[in-house]
Amino acid sequence: MCGIAGIFNISSGPAPTEPELSPMIGILHHRGPDGFGYYADDRVGLAHARLSIIDLEGGWQPIHNEDKTVWVVFNGEIFNYIELRQALEKNGHRFYTHSDTEVIVHLYEQHGADFVQHLNGQFAIALWDKTKKRLILARDRTGIRPLFYTQLSGRLLFASEVKSLFRYPGVARQLDFQALAEIFTYWSALPPATIFKNVHTLPPGHYLVAEQEKIRTVRYWDWVFPETPIAAKPAQEYAEALRELLVDAVRLQLRADVPVGAYLSGGLDSSIVTSVIKNFTDTPLRTFSVSFDDEEFDESQYQQELVKYLGTNHTELRCSRADISAAFPQVVWHTETPILRTAPTPLMLLSAQVRAAGYKVVLTGEGADEVFGGYDIFKEAKIRRFWARFPQSTQRPRLFDRLYPYLKHSPAATRAFNQKFFGQGMEHKDKPYFAHIPRWTTTRRLLQFLHRDTLAQFGSWDPFAAIMQTLPAGIERWAGLNRDQYIEAHTLMSGYLLCSQGDRVGMANSIEGRFPFLDHRLIEFANQLPPRYKIMGLTEKYLLKKSMQGLLPESIRTRTKQPYRAPDCQSFFQNGQPADYVAELFSETHLRQAGFLDAPAVRKLYEKCRAGRVIGFADNMAFVGILSALLVEKQFIQSSTFNQQPESNIRPVRVA
């Protein structure tokens, strides 16, 4: 894991220099605290901040090929580098390090831009072909590692984080209100947009080629599902193949020259990863988890059950509401975008404990829900499609009563409410976005808190038409669940979870997260499964659970999915008193100064939260979304010292 940054002269101009690159890479010190490296010639400048994980002594970047005509800086890991190296050496390539990075330059020599097809990993790559004057930027298939770029005065600037681009003189810092509307709908902006004007993200599964004053992007991989039903094999046969694939994915992702730990949430997915480590590898099992004072969010009883079952060496971080409030500004500084939940905050605090324990790498269960049909939204959509076939039925919507047993304030808390909530958009049952209509409609209520001048900037924007423009041809012929999975993977997962709850909060403390369920071989396998093997009746992740028979306690293996959550707006008030920075940001003076919000409406929400009268999802999302948007505006737009982390208010946390 690392941070990368660079400058490419699209047209003629002065050669990039190390003094230009140094501020850009310096601000990414948290991503690579072990040292910096540079390369510059007349056309390109590359910079790297290193977190040493593989080939600790020899893997310093930038790395080159034999004749120094191909150079690369790279953030992430190539898990199949050993196998790739063996094949490349047989073809005559000579290596001067033992790092995974070096396989990239030789793969490029062998395959050109198609080198990305051979990589099993999570990566953001900048590769410079000096002979062809060609720069290639590449991002992993699912968007685990970030990569941003902008253009200024004939130069292409790129980096692992936006704050790095803002260290380059002249790069404008402005909010993009169209992107804000997308975040306040889908939870993330649609690629290549970001919350900042003229700053773009390279979409997952794409590479960018810059050469001869031209820039183009190419999609090299995507989630693909069958357009017609496939002949199903017995479930047990699929389950055995799945277990074999999963074991191999975990084994590959344990490759490192430093100790590797694992997160243990108490849910199925992280339990599977830890069980595979315990039962199929020789890696010592070191685990970490978050627990909460609030019973509604706490899963520690399940965590402790698995700790005892597996006999793991375990650290539990106990997180309070005050801890969340104190750390939230730093979370926003690292995520660089408005977020709609506080859930990333405990994970950032946990990554600090991982670092304190002497670890740099953790495996997590992220991705299993998107790949194997674990989210409630998929079960909701199944019921809604069933209901839509006979909309007059009063019995079919009663199936919603079986959802959300873990929530005090569930969308299905009352029958009248759930019929109204889940009955939205039933006329669109054949549209690819059908599953997401109730959630996006709820989230879009945040737009009512924007100033009328802000709303005017994206006019009559239609979120459903916008999402349709991003979808592949033929998606209407996919099974309903598969359509739901595709959109979830390309919005919430890649744009929000892998960023705000993944890369950013881990790298805030120089911790690399690895995600075995997002091994592309597992995704491709799962995408060909009959949908009923993902959701059997209303049992989520049916096949994944079946593949783990005998390897987990039955109470864990058969447990109903409980999404990871944390206390939201109640975290920022103690006995009706707001945290100091919250009071400042929500003051009438600051709201009017920021300018993009409807100050009276926001103040009304603020007073409602302060009085403890907020219990629903919509108001909680609105408060956290507005608070984080105000922090983004203050830290990155208003502040002349945006390049510094906010002053830490983080209290000592409790570790069991």
pLDDT band at 420 (very low <50, low <70, confident <90, very high): low
Per-residue pLDDT at 26: 96
pLDDT interval class at 390 (50, 70, 90): confident
Residues 343-362 pLDDT 10s: 999 999 999 999 999 999 99
What pLDDT digit, counting tens, does each position of 537-589 carry?
A: 999 999 999 999 999 999 999 988 888 899 999 999 999 999 999 999 999 99
413 has a pLDDT exceeding 80: no
Token pair belonging to 387 = 């209901």
End-to-end CA distance of the chain: 28
- Catalytic residue positions, numbered: 2
Q: Tell me: pLDDT of 491 over 80.
A: yes
Q: 2-219: CATH homologous superfamily?
A: Aminohydrolase, N-terminal nucleophile (Ntn) domain (3.60.20.10)
pLDDT of res. 55:
76
Going by C-beta distance under 8 Å and a sequence separation of 6 or more, which residues neighbour residue 361? 1, 53, 256, 258, 259, 260, 261, 511, 512, 514
127 vs 493: CA distance, rounded Å:
27
Q: For residues 123 and 72, give the distance between their C-alpha atoms in angstroms, rounded to a whole number.
A: 12
Q: Is 492 helix (H, G, I), strand (E, B) or coil?
A: helix
* Interatomic CA distance for residues 633 and 203, integer angstroms: 24
- How large is the angle between the packed helices 177-186 and 617-632, nearest 10 degrees? 150
Mean predicted confidence (pLDDT) in 257-271: 94
Region for residue 187 given its phi and psi (left: phi exceeds 0; alpha: psi -120 to 50; beta: otherwise): left
Over the stretch 306-355, which tens digit does the pLDDT of each residue have? 999 999 999 999 999 999 999 999 999 999 999 999 999 999 999 999 99
Give the mean model confidence (pLDDT) for residues 215-223.
98
CA dihedral 164, 168, 174, 180 (to 10 degrees): -20
Residue 643 has pLDDT above 60, yes or no: no
Residue 214 has pLDDT above 50, yes or no: yes
Range name among 41-45, 247-251, 341-345, 649-653 with the lowest pLDDT average: 649-653
Whether 649 shows a pLDDT value over 60: the answer reads no
> Cα-atom radius of gyration of the chain, to the nearest Å?
24
Whether pLDDT at 652 is above 50: no
Give the CATH number of domain 235-371+491-557.
3.40.50.620
In the chain, where the domains are located: 2-219, 235-371+491-557, 386-443+463-488, 569-655
State pLDDT tens for residues 163-190. Answer: 999 999 999 999 999 999 999 999 999 9
What pLDDT digit, counting tens, does each position of 433-472 carry?
Answer: 999 999 999 999 999 999 999 999 988 899 999 999 999 9
Rounded CA-CA distance 5/48 in Å is 7
Q: Are 403 and 554 in contact (CB under 8 A)?
A: no
